[in-house]
């Protein structure tokens, strides 16, 4: 099998570089030069370029091109199949474990999660290279648990009585084996992408280690502190409580908990369109049509109480899914949380999650919980449907979190981020009319504001 893979590579030696050197170049936390014009069409162009490089025996060029394809269109299953196959050829050439492991992750993501049947051939070819068999030892236990939970969830679609077995499989993967945690997530790579996707699909939440660099984190923390202090007016949480009564940019989230809108354009672009997080979100939401629903700080002050478990939004057509009449849907949104101070559940609280609670058919069972822990630069991402609750804050200083809710562009979260309206709308005493006119009046409100400032000349 290895010989068959290498036949087209007679002229590859001059193009090839050592795996460690290559991975340090393509596994980077810097954006590709063309990242600001990322489109599916651009991804397809890179994939075609990679196939041409493959046919010419140019291994390095092939992998680089396919990596760009997977960056620009991570939601395409064939993006990962092409990248996996390119890495497979490099692994066969060098007998390199570095390439082999990444190839296995790319092909597994395409085959087991994104349902690309052709990726299975690549996995078979990789398994047939006996010299690489020892490369996957560290992944075997988690891979086996991943397969077990996917089978259990598939069985649940046809038989609700299998819920207890599915819950056990979810707890084993997410908690016992630590599948909810992805270490060293500063690089965009097949390993990170596969583990991220699996954790969100199975657990409903994923923790990303070392995602944000120190300089970016410091800049965000400074902006958050300056914005929040303007509302605190020297009174800390009491100042925010007062602001929440009159300013729509501040909202109470329970005793001593607040959400404060941050000035979006003042944020560093590397945090809003993070070179690892942004494509990962596109992967799990399955679309290039991803929008931020808000950019805010969620801050808890000392004395904040234990929150009840809740989901930020409900499952679409929730009742029918619980009854087994409709299958579980992919996520329509995720929230990325970047703690601006280290999180310790026993001191300054944080958030606790019910593992698997994003799957509606598991919500009526007893689910295992797991608190979020985070060092500086870590982040965690959870499905909008995942049940969670804030833990008590027993510390002595505010605990701010940067909140980035990413949603599919057709979805509107009217619960957590309601639109703002005209005075006439606010005076309505008719819930039916309010519901029907909520979007129309929001547009009217914006037009009125623009007209007041002389921005629009065509507003009647």
Using pLDDT thresholds of 50, 70 and 90, give the confidence band for residue 417: confident
Residue 319 in this model has a pLDDT that exceeds 60 = no
> Is-contact 304 392, C-beta < 8 A?
yes
The structural domains of the chain, ordered by start, are 2-128 (1.25.40), 214-408 (2.60.120.620), 423-452 (no CATH)
The more confidently predicted of residues 424 and 182 is 182
Residue 14 in this model has a pLDDT that exceeds 60 = no
Using pLDDT thresholds of 50, 70 and 90, give the confidence band for residue 149: very high
Distance CA 451, CA 460 (A): 9
CA distances from 107 to 27, 84, 256, 344 (A): 17, 5, 47, 36
* pLDDT score, position 21: 47
* pLDDT score, position 8: 43
Choose among 181, 164, 194, 32: nearest CA to 103.
194
Mean pLDDT score across all residues of the chain: 87
Using pLDDT thresholds of 50, 70 and 90, give the confidence band for residue 318: low
H/E element, 335:
strand 333-339
**Once rounded to an integer, what is the mean pLDDT over residues 140-162?**
92
**Once rounded to an integer, what is the mean pLDDT over residues 209-238?**
92
Residue 236 in this model has a pLDDT that exceeds 60 = yes
Using pLDDT thresholds of 50, 70 and 90, give the confidence band for residue 160: confident
CB atoms near residue 343 (< 10 Å): 23
pTM for this model (two decimals): 0.89
**Once rounded to an integer, what is the mean pLDDT over residues 303-326?**
75
Instruction: Write out the two tokens for 85.
Output: 């196959």
Query: What pLDDT, in 10s, does the model give residues 357-394?
Result: 999 889 889 999 999 999 989 999 999 999 999 999 99
Instruction: Write out the two tokens for 77.
Output: 């299953």
Distance CA 336, CA 272 (A): 10
| Of 160-164, 202-206, 413-417, the least confident | 413-417
**Once rounded to an integer, what is the mean pLDDT over residues 92-116?**
96
Question: Helices 277-285 and 190-202 meet at what angle, rounded to 10?
Answer: 50
Residue 254 in this model has a pLDDT that exceeds 70 = yes
Residue 441 in this model has a pLDDT that exceeds 80 = yes
**Once rounded to an integer, what is the mean pLDDT over residues 293-309?**
93
User: What burial class does residue 20 get, using C-beta atoms within 10 Å of its C-beta: 0-12 exposed, 13-18 middle, 19+ buried?
Assistant: exposed
Residue 26 in this model has a pLDDT that exceeds 50 = no
The CA-based dihedral angle spanning residues 268, 272, 275, 276, taken in that order and rounded to the nearest 10 degrees:
130
Residue 3 in this model has a pLDDT that exceeds 60 = no
Tracing tokens 């010419």 back to the chain, one arrives at 56
* pLDDT score, position 159: 82
């Amino acid at each position: 099998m290895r010989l068959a893979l290498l036949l087209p590579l007679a002229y590859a030696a001059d193009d090839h570089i050592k795996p460690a050197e290559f991975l340090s170049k393509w596994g980077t936390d810097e954006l590709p030069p063309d990242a600001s014009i990322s489109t599916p069409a651009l991804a397809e162009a890179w994939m075609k370029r990679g196939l041409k490089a493959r046919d010419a025996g140019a291994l390095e060029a092939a992998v680089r091109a396919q990596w760009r394809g997977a960056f620009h269109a991570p939601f395409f299953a064939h993006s990962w199949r092409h990248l996996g196959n390119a890495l497979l050829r490099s692994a066969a050439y060098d007998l390199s474990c570095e390439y082999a492991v990444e190839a296995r992750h790319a092909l597994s993501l395409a085959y087991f999660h994104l349902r690309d049947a052709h990726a299975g051939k690549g996995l078979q070819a990789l398994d047939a290279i006996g010299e690489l068999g020892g490369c996957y030892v560290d992944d075997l236990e988690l891979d086996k648990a991943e397969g077990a939970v996917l089978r259990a969830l598939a069985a649940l679609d046809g038989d609700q009585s299998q819920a207890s077995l599915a819950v056990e499989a979810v707890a084993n993967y997410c908690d016992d084996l630590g599948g909810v945690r992805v270490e060293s997530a500063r690089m965009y790579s097949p390993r990170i992408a596969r583990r991220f996707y699996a954790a969100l699909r199975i657990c409903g939440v994923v923790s990303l280690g070392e995602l944000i660099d120190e300089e970016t984190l410091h800049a965000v923390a400074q902006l958050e502190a300056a914005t929040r202090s303007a509302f605190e007016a020297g009174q800390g949480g009491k100042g925010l409580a007062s602001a929440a009564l009159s300013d729509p940019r501040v909202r109470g989230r329970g005793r001593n908990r607040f959400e404060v809108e941050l000035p979006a354009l003042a944020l560093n672009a590397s945090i809003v369109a993070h070179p690892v997080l942004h494509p990962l979100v596109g992967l799990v939401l399955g679309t290039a049509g991803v929008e931020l629903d808000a950019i805010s700080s969620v801050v808890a002050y000392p004395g904040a109480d234990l929150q009840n478990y809740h989901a930020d939004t409900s499952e679409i057509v929730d009742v029918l899914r619980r009854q087994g009449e409709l299958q579980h849907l992919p996520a329509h949104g995720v929230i990325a949380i970047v703690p601006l101070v280290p999180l310790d559940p026993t001191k300054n609280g944080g958030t606790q999650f019910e593992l698997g609670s994003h799957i509606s058919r598991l919500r009526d069972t007893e689910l295992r919980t797991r608190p979020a822990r985070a060092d500086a630069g870590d982040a965690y991402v959870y499905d909008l449907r995942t049940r969670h609750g804030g833990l008590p804050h027993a510390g002595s200083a505010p605990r701010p979190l940067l909140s980035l809710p990413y949603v599919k562009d057709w979805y509107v979260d009217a619960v957590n981020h309601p639109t703002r309206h005209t005075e006439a709308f606010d005076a309505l005493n008719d819930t039916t009319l309010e519901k029907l006119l909520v979007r129309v009046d929001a547009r009217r409100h914006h037009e009125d504001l623009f007209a007041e400032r002389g921005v629009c000349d065509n507003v009647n």
